[in-house]
Amino acid sequence: MPSAVSTTQFRGYAIHDTKNWTSFKLIDFEPKPFEDYDIDIKIEYCGVCGSDVHTITGGWGKPALPIVPGHEIVGKAVRVGSMVSSIKVGDRVGVGAQICSCMNCAHCKNDDEQYCPKRIYTYNSRYHNAERTLSQGGYSTAVRAHEQFVFPIPDEMPLEEAAPMLCAGLTVYSPLVRNGAGKGKKVGIVGVGGLGHFAIQFAKALECDDVVVFSHSPKKRDDAMTLGATDVVFTCKDGFEEPLVGQLDLIICTANVSDSALLRGLMSTLKIHGRLIMVAMPDESLPSLMSTDLAMNGALLGGSLIGSKKEALSMLDLAVRKGVKPWIDVVPMKDCGKAVRAVKDGKIRYRRVLKMDIE
Amino acid sequence: MPSAVSTTQFRGYAIHDTKNWTSFKLIDFEPKPFEDYDIDIKIEYCGVCGSDVHTITGGWGKPALPIVPGHEIVGKAVRVGSMVSSIKVGDRVGVGAQICSCMNCAHCKNDDEQYCPKRIYTYNSRYHNAERTLSQGGYSTAVRAHEQFVFPIPDEMPLEEAAPMLCAGLTVYSPLVRNGAGKGKKVGIVGVGGLGHFAIQFAKALECDDVVVFSHSPKKRDDAMTLGATDVVFTCKDGFEEPLVGQLDLIICTANVSDSALLRGLMSTLKIHGRLIMVAMPDESLPSLMSTDLAMNGALLGGSLIGSKKEALSMLDLAVRKGVKPWIDVVPMKDCGKAVRAVKDGKIRYRRVLKMDIE
């Protein structure tokens, strides 16, 4: 095994201006100083996530520039810190949207490390160190992450299929399990896209009785059924919600919901005290509701932030056992500009994965 | 005991035009046909609720006219149907915002009768009978209600103090207990008004560790502390939420929250997966949030609709045991026009109760 330092170049495709958010240029960048719990990963694949687009376009606010996006990262561990116990050099590993947290607060100690107030995201986040190092993402040769945020990839899972699990998969798996998806439950999934196509599969893998897919596009019907839907409802039809009023225990909403009538309709399909968990994070505000829209069935509208390591590991295990797989196309990493454009335009069926090509 | 039929006149103060919503005129009205589970109550007091104002002003939509509002009703049972087992003629009883439901659906069988799709509200609701009888409220001589919605009033509780419990009290008690308020919990109450002044007292009576009151008005501080607050936070101050970020298990919001920054600030004070339950039902939409506002702590924004009979009885029992009492002023029922005006103007400290005066 060659030494980690010599094999790990930190070099990635970066955006320098949010107005030119498809014009990636290679940059070298300095990772945070290596510490005892850190792991360096030589990247082989990185998925393209909607978050990448929200960030590089400035939709979520002005990012630090230049910015290397990418937080669905898989590869091999090439250097492990002296305190790392769960990973060894050469292991197939991955990293999602978070690479560090304080490890000391109640959230970190309670498998809620994704909610740590000192969390560091995989890119566009500054470490609390003296250098205030900026994290850079996985459209690059390597990433350095704390052991807690490095997930071993099961042998049975191809690396390129593991990549999109680590943000898109985990982002829907966590709210499914935290909100009781399983036998005896009727679950709704809004949107058939990068997140939605995982959510349908995981709802099925968790053995929910019904997996009702809401989509604005009749074209998605066959895909939704193939992915595991028990029913598909088209939201473009007035009164789409009527046959389902009061039926669903839980809805995971992976799509941008742009108007109040649609959100109100979705909420009305919930049972008493049912929950709609919004995992789509559009640049715009959610449509507003009346208080009465929530009162009529005592429903709850909630949010969710990625997932914990514990959940990531159980998700990967479930995916292997139940055959959950992303639908991906793999392209060279140099085509990242086209990839983010395609994500923005909603043209991916359903995840694009970049293959490392930096010399 | 005089016969029920002769003593029970159905005559009440009605609004005939939402534009003249303080001009009440006496009308006679026909109750629904008497059935085996029905109880007639000779009204002694009726509380004035914000819902009355929303309804008679047309804020919640055009009501059936003429309309007799009032759904915080107490008095004596004067006629009981042949199947009624829990109430006898002469009992001190009350009725809240609901007087009937189907009694057969899963909600009705599961102590969720307030969520029955066929629920009949105490006023401005039409029965599913052939006559489509319109329900009329408690600014009147009498009300007819199904036994399930008639609550015995504990002997220790003056009738006029019981009245506001039956809507305002129950509306906050139900979401408190359904969302786990009790020992070890930190609860926030937004607003010190008709609902809020009950919510503070019930949160204390339920032995919550902390009862943090949010108010826009520094003038409410002393009242909040007297009612049982452990802390009072003024929401008019920028950054009011900062010392409380991530602290609260549950917030019951009894006030109209008109801007996104305020709602966002309140949501940020919740623990991971904490809940803000909105019980205020303004005429306007809730302010819109970003999906990220909910994601950062996985928080939930929910609604709630009055409460069940089971909850009403446990609330009345708790109120007696722990000394929960509304702060009321009692006025003759003929002053209902002034009373609704004062509620609309936020001038009540904290509940006005009408005393029957119809000859």
Per residue in B24-72, pLDDT (tens digit) is 999 999 999 999 999 999 999 999 999 999 999 999 999 999 999 999 9
Q: Is A6 on the interface with B (CB under 8 A)?
A: no
Cα–Cα distance, B28 to B68 (Å, whole number): 10
pLDDT of res. B9: 74
pLDDT of res. B199: 98
Tell me whether residues A272 and B117 touch, CB distance under 8 A: no
pLDDT of res. A258: 84
Tell me whether residues A294 and B303 touch, CB distance under 8 A: yes
Q: What is the mean pLDDT of residues B333-353?
A: 97
**Residue of B282, B290, B298 with shortest CB distance to A285:** B290
Query: B231 and B243 in contact (C-beta within 8 Å)?
Result: no
Per-residue pLDDT band at B10 (split at 50, 70, 90):
very high
Q: Is A295 on the interface with B (CB under 8 A)?
A: yes
Per-residue pLDDT band at B280 (split at 50, 70, 90):
very high
Determine the 3-state secondary structure of A150 from DSSP.
Answer: strand
- Give the residues across from B26 on adjacent strands: B13
Spell out which residues of chain A touch residue B287, defining contact as CB-CB under 8 Å. 288
Cα–Cα distance, A118 to A103 (Å, whole number): 9
Distance from CA of B277 to the nearest CA of A (A): 8
pLDDT of res. A34: 95
Q: Is A87 on the interface with B (CB under 8 A)?
A: no
Tell me whether residues A304 and B287 touch, CB distance under 8 A: no
pLDDT of res. A198: 98
Going residue by residue through chain A (359 aa), what tens digit of pLDDT does each one get? Answer: 434 444 567 999 999 999 999 999 999 999 999 999 999 999 999 999 999 999 999 999 999 999 999 999 999 999 999 999 999 999 999 999 999 999 999 999 999 999 999 999 999 999 999 999 999 999 999 999 999 999 999 999 999 999 999 999 999 999 999 999 999 999 999 999 999 999 999 999 999 999 999 999 999 999 999 999 999 999 998 999 999 999 999 999 999 998 899 999 999 999 999 999 999 999 999 999 999 999 999 999 999 999 999 999 999 999 999 999 999 999 999 999 999 999 999 999 999 999 999 98
Cα–Cα distance, A242 to A202 (Å, whole number): 26
Interface test with A, best of B294, B306, B308 (most A CBs within 10 A): B294
**Nearest in space to B74 (alpha carbons), one of B344, B336, B358, B355:** B355
pLDDT of res. A142: 97
| Smallest CA–CA distance from B246 into chain A, residue | A117
Tell me whether residues A295 and B272 touch, CB distance under 8 A: no
**Residue of B275, B287, B290 with shortest CB distance to A300:** B275
**Residue of A272, A288, A304 with shortest CB distance to B112:** A272
Q: Is A278 on the interface with B (CB under 8 A)?
A: yes
Distance from CA of B122 to the nearest CA of A (A): 16
Tell me whether residues B291 and A297 touch, CB distance under 8 A: no
Q: Is B293 on the interface with A (CB under 8 A)?
A: yes
Spell out which residues of chain A touch residue B290, defining contact as CB-CB under 8 Å. 281, 285-286
pLDDT of res. A295: 97
- Residue B351: C-alpha distances to residues B23, B50, B177, B283, B330 (Å): 20, 10, 23, 20, 9
Cα–Cα distance, A312 to A94 (Å, whole number): 10
**Residue of A115, A285, A291 with shortest CB distance to B280:** A291
Say which residues have a Cβ less than 8 Å from residue B90's Cβ, sequence separation at least 6.
Answer: B1, B76, B77
Q: Is A280 on the interface with B (CB under 8 A)?
A: yes
Q: Is B117 on the interface with A (CB under 8 A)?
A: yes
Tell me whether residues B278 and A291 touch, CB distance under 8 A: yes
Q: Is B33 on the interface with A (CB under 8 A)?
A: no
A89-121: pLDDT as tens digits: 999 999 999 999 999 999 999 999 999 999 999
Spell out which residues of chain B touch residue A305, defining contact as CB-CB under 8 Å. 295-296, 298
Cα–Cα distance, B100 to B118 (Å, whole number): 8
- Could you give the domains of chain B? 4-167+307-355 (3.90.180.10), 170-303 (3.40.50.720)
Q: What burial class does residue A320 get, using C-beta atoms within 10 Å of its C-beta: 0-12 exposed, 13-18 middle, 19+ buried?
A: middle
Cα A65 versus chain centre, distance: 22
- Residue B248: C-alpha distances to residues A139, B266, B274 (Å): 39, 10, 7
Say which residues have a Cβ less than 8 Å from residue A225's Cβ, sequence separation at least 6.
Answer: A232
Tokens matching residue A2:
């060659």
Spell out which residues of chain B touch residue A107, defining contact as CB-CB under 8 Å. 272
Q: Is A103 on the interface with B (CB under 8 A)?
A: no
Distance from CA of A83 to the nearest CA of B (A): 29
Per-residue pLDDT band at B5 (split at 50, 70, 90):
very low
Q: What is the mean pLDDT of chain B?
A: 96
**Nearest in space to A78 (alpha carbons), one of A44, A32, A106, A105:** A44
Q: Is B260 on the interface with A (CB under 8 A)?
A: yes
**Residue of B292, B297, B300 with shortest CB distance to A301:** B300
pLDDT of res. B261: 94
Cα–Cα distance, A91 to B351 (Å, whole number): 68
pLDDT of res. B69: 98
B119-177: pLDDT as tens digits: 999 999 999 999 999 999 999 999 999 999 999 999 999 999 999 999 999 999 999 99
Per-residue pLDDT band at B359 (split at 50, 70, 90):
confident
Say which residues have a Cβ less than 8 Å from residue B290's Cβ, sequence separation at least 6.
Answer: A281, A285, A286, B264
Determine the 3-state secondary structure of B250 from DSSP.
Answer: strand
Per-residue pLDDT band at B6 (split at 50, 70, 90):
very low
Cα B235 versus chain centre, distance: 24
